[in-house]
Structure 1
Amino acid sequence: MTGQAGFTVIVPAHDEARVIGRTLQSMRRGAGARDHFHVIVVPNGCTDDTADAARRADPAAEVIEIAQGSKSAAINEGLRRTKMFPVLVVDADIGIEYPALLGLAEALREPGVMVASPAPHVVTENSDRWTRAYYRVWSRHGYRAEGVGGSGVYGLSKEGAAMLGSLPPVIADDTYVRWSFPLSQQRRVSAFGEIPVKSVVEAPRTVTQLVACEARWHAGNVQLRKLKAGPGPTRAHLGGGVSPIDRIIYLCIKLLGRVRYAINVMTGRAGVWHRDTSTR
């Protein structure tokens, strides 16, 4: 798989020294000597050695440190430095190999495709039973099959990036991108020829961490609905093929996430970024 047209990958990273190396190394896996893609890592507001860890893991990557601890600001900085399109944005804790990145880039070269994402593969082997039950339902949720959500990776064509412009300071950048384009301009890419196109996402280890993540996801959606109209929730698409117990657990975790969000609002912490530390 050599001699393909180039593209750019942006990796925003805040205090990700423990995981940034495996992410960068996974992206080089499967690439040939003539494959041309440019990686831009943007450590933002870091208090650890994320930048040095990135340089060690991928000496070819461009590492741009910014003082502001903001994922949106980091992505915007990466977009300003991008000269080769399409451009892909990859979370610092996601596993994705070069063939999958290439599959996304090729999809974004198709006419009318502005934004694309891979199919997420969520690893739950190290999670508790409540979290596993949640993801059994989530994996059949209609939202997973649409747009760019859930994979920790999305890409923009050159035209799509120009239409999007700069990201505002939002919690849920991937949802903001998804809501910025009609479904007809979005593509979920599951294969590139015979090669699966997927990202590997580590599920939270504990239901406590999962509820905290749910609160953050809900906060992101609430924030975005104040900024722009979106498709709204997809409650009707819980999907078949799951046990009633799993469905109840899923809905309970959703509810607990909203309760946690309400508590965060009352205590003035609704805008505080929470990430899953159990997988780091």
Structure 2
Amino acid sequence: MTSIVIPAHNEGRVIGRLLDALLADTSATGADIVVVCNGCTDDTARVAGERGDRVRVVEVPTPSKHHALRVGDEHARGFPRLYVDADVVVGAADVRALLGALDRSPELLAVAPGRDIPLAGCAWPVRAYYRVWQRLPAVREGLFGRGVIAVTEPGHARIAALPPLMADDLAASLAFGPGERRVVEEARVVVRPPRTWSDLIRRRVRAATSSAEYERFRAERQAEAPQQPPGTERTERTARTGTADLRALLWARPALLPGVVVFVVAALAARRGSRKAIRDQDFSTWLRDESSRQG
């Protein structure tokens, strides 16, 4: 039996639309759906519980996504297993497409859907930013930033071994090599972006902070690894965007120049905004934008 684990912290405004999409076709997956309400002070548990017997609601007092995922694992019944953020929308047919990809390709350990980002109603700098961001190689090919990842049982063992990290989706994506992971474009997920520039910067500050934590974890892991013979060192996977990526994008699409300028400004603002948290090693303060949860 397929299991879907949904960690949810104060997502009463949006979790209903996700659950309705998953439950729209009752014969599509027969999936076991577990919603882990972690540290909620709103009506998330009530909204989820109103969706019927196919949704099991577990409430825990700790507002921690990592803890919620582990609790979800304790209650989930089978594999493949999907982890789905409460603020995205993915349908039953899309889940079926992800499961089909895993079934057809035994070498795959993890898959994620293609990403749709509705930009209507967003401020123009936000629209410009995402027109660039969506075209970056690491963003197109990685499993992160989609809010959905489906794993086999061996794939689950891979991500379950990761420590609690703010950049949990980035770490999960980079835990798999290119031949072990795939973006399944026929499956789609709707990821709502922030609507305002200030909320975009909040997201980017969080991303910069969490990336710094992940890179610290990666450096510690490399330091603990046995010394490799010369010429056999493993190339560490990364999702960092470099100036070469932006130059290549501009060479192919010169009209994106205004968007690239906005992207660079946002990156610099995020770097500046994350300095204190990185210096203090504060990797637990979650800067959440609320504008993407409106409507």
Fold match by TM threshold 0.5: yes
1:208-238: per-residue Cα shift (whole Å, max 9, x none)? 0000100101111111111125425132333
| Residues 1-280 of structure 1: pairs in structure 2 closer than 5 A | 6-29=1-24, 31-33=25-27, 35-109=29-103, 110-191=105-186, 197-228=187-218, 230-235=237-242, 236-238=244-246, 239=249, 240-241=252-253, 242-265=255-278, 271-280=284-293
* TM, length-normalised to structure 2: 0.86
Report the CA distance between 1:105 and its aligned residue: 1.5
Specify the SS of the correspondent of 2:32.
strand
The residue type paired with residue 20 of structure 1 is I
Q: Which has the larger radius of gyration?
A: 2
The residue type paired with residue 207 of structure 1 is W
Report the CA distance between 1:163 and its aligned residue: 2.9
1:151-205: per-residue Cα shift (whole Å, max 9, x none)? 11111111111233254221111111112111210111001xxxxx110011101
Report the CA distance between 1:270 and its aligned residue: 5.1
1:3 alignment partner in structure 2: none
Specify the SS of the correspondent of 2:116.
strand
Q: Assess, with a 3 A threshold, how the Cα gap between structure 1 residues 105 and 129 changes in structure 2: closer, same or farther.
A: same
- More displaced stretch, 49-58 vs 109-118: 49-58
Q: Assess, with a 3 A threshold, how the Cα gap between structure 1 residues 174 and 143 changes in structure 2: closer, same or farther.
A: same
Aligned residue pair count:
269
Contact 1:116 1:147 in 2 (8 A): no
Q: 1:265 and 1:131 mapped to 2: Cα distance?
A: 25
Specify the SS of the correspondent of 1:184.
coil
Report the CA distance between 1:107 and its aligned residue: 1.6
Contact 1:87 1:105 in 2 (8 A): no
Q: Which has the higher helix share?
A: 2
Q: 1:32 and 1:19 mapped to 2: Cα distance?
A: 20
The residue type paired with residue 8 of structure 2 is A
Report the CA distance between 1:35 and its aligned residue: 3.9
Q: Which runs of 5+ in 2 are unaligned?
A: 219-235
Contact 1:76 1:167 in 2 (8 A): no
Contact 2:142 2:239 in 1 (8 A): no
RMSD (Å) for aligned C-alpha atoms: 1.8
- More displaced stretch, 19-28 vs 75-84: 75-84
Q: Assess, with a 3 A threshold, how the Cα gap between structure 1 residues 264 and 162 changes in structure 2: closer, same or farther.
A: closer
Q: 1:58 and 1:13 mapped to 2: Cα distance?
A: 17
Q: 1:26 and 1:70 mapped to 2: Cα distance?
A: 25
Q: Assess, with a 3 A threshold, how the Cα gap between structure 1 residues 159 and 258 changes in structure 2: closer, same or farther.
A: same
Contact 1:76 1:166 in 2 (8 A): no
Specify the SS of the correspondent of 1:42.
strand
Contact 1:261 1:270 in 2 (8 A): no
Specify the SS of the correspondent of 1:135.
helix
Q: Assess, with a 3 A threshold, how the Cα gap between structure 1 residues 211 and 58 changes in structure 2: closer, same or farther.
A: farther
Q: Which runs of 5+ in 1 are unaligned?
A: 1-5, 192-196
Contact 1:9 1:40 in 2 (8 A): yes
Q: Percent identity?
A: 30
